[in-house]
Amino acid sequence: MTQEPENPESPVVPEQDPGTGARGNRDATRPDDQWLRDAMHRMLTSNWLVTLLAIVAALVISGVLIAIADEDVREASTYFFARPLDTVSAAWNSVAGAYASLFRGAVFDFQAPTLARAIRPITETMVAATPLIFAALGLGMGFRSGLFNIGAQGQVLMGAAAATYVGITWSLPVVVHVVMAVIAAMVVGGLWAGIAGFLKARTGASEVIVTIMLNWIAIWLVTYLLTTTVLRQGGSRPISPAVGENARLPLLFGEGFRLHWGFLLALGAAALVWWLMERSTIGFKFRAVGANMDAARTAGINVNMIFVFVMVTAGILAGLGGAAQILGTDKTLQAGSAGSIGFDAITVALLGRSRPLGTVLAALLFGALRAGSPLMQTVSNTPIDIVLVIQAVIVLFIAAPPLVRSIFFLPSPDRPRRVKEVAA
Amino acid sequence: MSQLANPRLTPDGLLDEKAMAPVSWRTPIILGVISIVGLLAFVIFTHPGRISRIVVSRSADAIQIGTLHLPSQGSALVLLVVAFGLTGLSFWATLNRRRLGVIPIAFGIVMLFAFLIWAVAGNTGGLPLPLLLSTTITAAVPLVFGALAGVLCERSGIINIAIEGQLLAGAFLCVVVSSATGNPYIGLIAAPIAGALVGLLLAVFSIKYRVDQIIVGVVLNVLVLGLTNYLFSTVLTQNPQGLNNPPRMPSFAIPGLSEIPVIGPALFNQTVIVYVMYVVVAVLQVMLFRSRWGLRVRAVGEHPKAADTVGIKVNRTRYRNVVLGSAIAGFGGSAFVAAALPFTKEVSAGRGYIALAAMILGRWSPTGALAAALLFGFADSLNRVLGNIGSPVPYELLAMLPYLATIFAVAGLVGRIRPPAAEGKPYP
């Protein structure tokens, strides 16, 4: 999504051609409920509605998959023509059961015995969302600056490795240690992404290809370091020891909840990114390069410098995500510590339309899917992998608003509805 | 050639130095540095008196050649002398503004042999050359098909990041269909259909809905990964005997050719997938660069407006190419499971991205893609073989090589690479 997403206020074209018709004439033909129609039109063509419908469509499609894979449903479908309602009710049971357990695992567990247990799922959602927010903020900045950074995966992993290294080898006092570990993650993540920015600026190498390759190099590099004493320190499994007590991000609500300060840092980072992109000079340059690179160059912006800046900033944010994952949640590093954070972050940034607020909300949604899926798997036997399908389908629909509009018979914002003018 | 027609000559007939491009010393310098490093690593710091054993024939081969016993240091020294010679040649060629041609490739092969001799120095088992070559082909086959898919799509102007997903979808459907029918060849027919479906999604979203092609590709990879994982954990695990138990794809030895020493069994005693690969590479190379269809495809990828002006249907060409290319990638996915292997989660394990890299290193041509894929396959297979017999280099570092090579290639450190001009841009 190299070009700016559509204007949030969808373009409602004035119903009158410019230069034709006198004002009085127009008012005379204007229906009384025009404001209502305008409001309806604006609502029906808004991006928020498309986003919402994309999520609904994705849940429906995944529901079909859940029903197909359910054994009861398939059993009932063998005598579908004798008793079709059996199939329908079995399908309903399996889908409703899966989504209900997903909700219980991600938002509010209404079957829990205590209040603390009941609200724990929503904090787990925030825990899962934290690294996604960080990484997706960086990716969103890239998308708005015309850079397609696929490399969050590698940047998260390298940041996580740097935080782990500082966390397990240095010994520092209480606050200093965690700050140093976080800074190390920012530096390494930023440098790792900076490679792609530098190569793009210096040689024109496509950042897409370079970041994909850097992802794999990061995975193999961390796997290698986990076999050496740099990150392993004894033991035979490729897993680092737990980071020191001082290097951990403090918990927000005590021992019962895993939610840590990383979440607040992520919200702070979102605010900072908003300020950077919308209110600062450098952010203006970022957006100018994204909107039209040639115009930006003509206007005197050093485009190559911007490439490096954007990539380094994105890498710093992704590195923070890695640090939050290790210092806040996991405590130990494995080659798979980054999981699919980097790739999920791409979908988060796309769903959030590269805006900080949207990114936070999208990260919370996908974090909820992550947090709720284990319970869904144990309670209703629906594998975690359905989450990937839901995510991918949501983003596919988001990326193609005309498709969503045609599925749900919504008016298109490109072809404005016109009020019939009475010929004078 | 008239001298007057040459703009690089002054009216006096002398070479005008200012009018000529500056001489780039990059390649000779890189070769020189590698030679010096090689001399230090493979000769000077190698234990003298060690023997490198290289097993040339398998016991089943018709023509038997004994195991080679080479003195490690001496052989490496000879190879390094050749390498220095090639470096000198490249300096001479650069100075005289001649094309380097095959010098870097020859240099690479020489250094590779020097590395192999160093890597197996003192190893009692020796380097099993036939095994190395046959696993090279096995590892390269999905990469070749994936890279060909990339070539077909990108030559028509559509970036295909979804190769990974297409390989995975092909492997999945191949396993399910061949297990259900008990016939591996029906699975081979099903695999390209799965790839083509993924490709159709890619085409519809990027051509009709004009979504950024990289976004669609990345998301399709996630979608296929999620779908296959989900179906694997549900349908396939509920009925592993019926749906995840593919029969073995039989190998055929081509009479005569398969008895060539060393390379014969690796190249010509293979499954039908490998023979299809040879045919597809050859056909695509000829069709892309020697046929009317190929000219049109390349025109659409380079300058769609010009192509449209002369009456070529740009988007129809793109649809066809994406679907055809994705079908080829899907077919390649069947190579993951040809050896009667059951489907597992993420069986493609990132090979689609290496295929993308092979396509780039192969400069968007079928034979180039074949060569690059074979190189990556060789790196992969060497890594496994060295891991088995005891390697002096950590597995993880060797595994990075294809990715590093690609970064060097796209950054222009080893020659210029230019993608099709209109790739990634929707038309009109």
pLDDT tops 70 at residue B383: yes
pLDDT in tens, B145-162: 999 999 999 999 999 999
Question: Bridge-partner residues for B271, per DSSP?
Answer: B251
Name the pLDDT band for B291 (thresholds 50, 70, 90): very high
pLDDT tops 70 at residue B226: yes
- Mean pLDDT in residue range B169-188: 91
CB contact under 8 A, B411 and A148: no
Name the pLDDT band for B324 (thresholds 50, 70, 90): very high
Query: What's the pLDDT score for residue B16?
Result: 60
Query: What's the pLDDT score for residue B46?
Result: 73
pLDDT in tens, B239-254: 888 888 888 888 888 8
- Chain-wide mean pLDDT for chain A? 84
Q: Which residue of A373, A389, A390, A393 to mutate against B (max B Cβ within 10 Å)?
A: A389
- Mean pLDDT in residue range A248-274: 90
- Give burial (CB, 10 Å; 0-12/13-18/19+) of A384: middle
**Complete domains list, chain B, with CATH:** 20-125 (no CATH), 131-410 (1.10.3470.10)
Separation between Cα atoms, residue A82 and residue A67, nearest integer Å: 19
Name the pLDDT band for A11 (thresholds 50, 70, 90): very low
pLDDT tops 90 at residue B111: no
Cα atoms in the Cβ-side hemisphere of radius 13 Å centred on B95? 7
Query: What's the pLDDT score for residue B9?
Result: 60
Which residues from B are below 8 Å from A347, CB to CB? 219, 222
CB contact under 8 A, A388 and B222: yes
Query: What's the pLDDT score for residue B404?
Result: 86
Query: What's the pLDDT score for residue A171?
Result: 85
Nearest-Cα residue of chain B relative to residue A387? B226
Q: Pick from B221, B220, B208, B201: which is nearest to B426 by CA? A: B208
Query: What's the pLDDT score for residue A21?
Result: 42
- Mean pLDDT in residue range A214-239: 85
- Pair B114, B45: CB distance under 8 Å: no
Query: What's the pLDDT score for residue B14?
Result: 62
CB contact under 8 A, A213 and B403: yes
Q: Which residue has the higher pLDDT, B210 or A23?
A: B210
Which residues from A are below 8 Å from B211, CB to CB? 399-400
How many angstroms separate the CA of residue A402 from the nearest CA in chain B? Answer: 7
Query: What's the pLDDT score for residue A400?
Result: 85
Query: What's the pLDDT score for residue A14?
Result: 42
Separation between Cα atoms, residue A80 and residue A86, nearest integer Å: 7
Nearest-Cα residue of chain B relative to residue A70? B234
Query: What's the pLDDT score for residue A414?
Result: 61
Separation between Cα atoms, residue B177 and residue B186, nearest integer Å: 7
pLDDT tops 90 at residue B21: no
Query: What's the pLDDT score for residue B274?
Result: 92
Which residues from B are below 8 Å from A205, CB to CB? 407, 410-412
Least confident of A76-85, A198-207, A296-305, B205-214: A76-85
The two structure tokens encoding residue B411: 């950054």
Query: What's the pLDDT score for residue A19?
Result: 42
Query: What's the pLDDT score for residue B62?
Result: 65
Name the pLDDT band for B280 (thresholds 50, 70, 90): very high
pLDDT in tens, B341-380: 888 888 888 889 889 888 988 889 999 999 999 988 988 8
Name the pLDDT band for A230 (thresholds 50, 70, 90): confident
Which residues from B are below 8 Å from A192, CB to CB? none
- Mean pLDDT in residue range B39-55: 78
Name the pLDDT band for B11 (thresholds 50, 70, 90): low
Query: What's the pLDDT score for residue A31?
Result: 65
Is the ipTM higher than 0.85? The answer is no
Q: Positive or negative, the Cα torsion across B95, B100, B105, B109?
A: negative
How many angstroms separate the CA of residue B59 from the nearest CA in chain A? Answer: 36
- Mean pLDDT in residue range A166-180: 89
DSSP per-residue codes, A235-247:
SSSSBPPPPPGGG
pLDDT tops 80 at residue A47: no
Query: What's the pLDDT score for residue B61?
Result: 67
Separation between Cα atoms, residue A386 and residue B298, nearest integer Å: 39
Name the pLDDT band for B52 (thresholds 50, 70, 90): confident
DSSP per-residue codes, B44-91:
ITSPTT-EEEEE---TT-SS--PPEEEEHHHHHHHHHHHHHHHHHHHH
Cα distances from A351 to residues A389, B85, B402, in angstroms, run 14, 57, 32
Residue B234 touches chain A, beta carbons under 8 Å: yes
CB contact under 8 A, A392 and B220: yes
Name the pLDDT band for A24 (thresholds 50, 70, 90): very low
Which residues from A are below 8 Å from B218, CB to CB? 150, 343, 346
Q: Positive or negative, the Cα torsion across B328, B333, B336, B338?
A: negative
How many angstroms separate the CA of residue B418 from the nearest CA in chain A? Answer: 10
Query: What's the pLDDT score for residue A360?
Result: 95
A280-294, A328-342, B56-70, B400-414 — most confident range = A280-294
Picking from A2, A227, A386, the nearest residue to B212 by CB comes out as A2
Q: Pick from B223, B352, B330: which is nearest to A216 by CA? A: B352
Separation between Cα atoms, residue A75 and residue B185, nearest integer Å: 31
pLDDT in tens, B115-132: 888 887 777 777 888 888
pLDDT tops 50 at residue A2: no
Least confident of A265-269, A363-367, B78-82, B122-126: B122-126
- Mean pLDDT in residue range B391-406: 81
pLDDT tops 50 at residue A15: no
Which residues from A are below 8 Å from B345, CB to CB? 385
High-pLDDT (> 90) share of chain A, %: 37
Cα atoms in the Cβ-side hemisphere of radius 13 Å centred on B98? 10
- Chain-wide mean pLDDT for chain B? 85
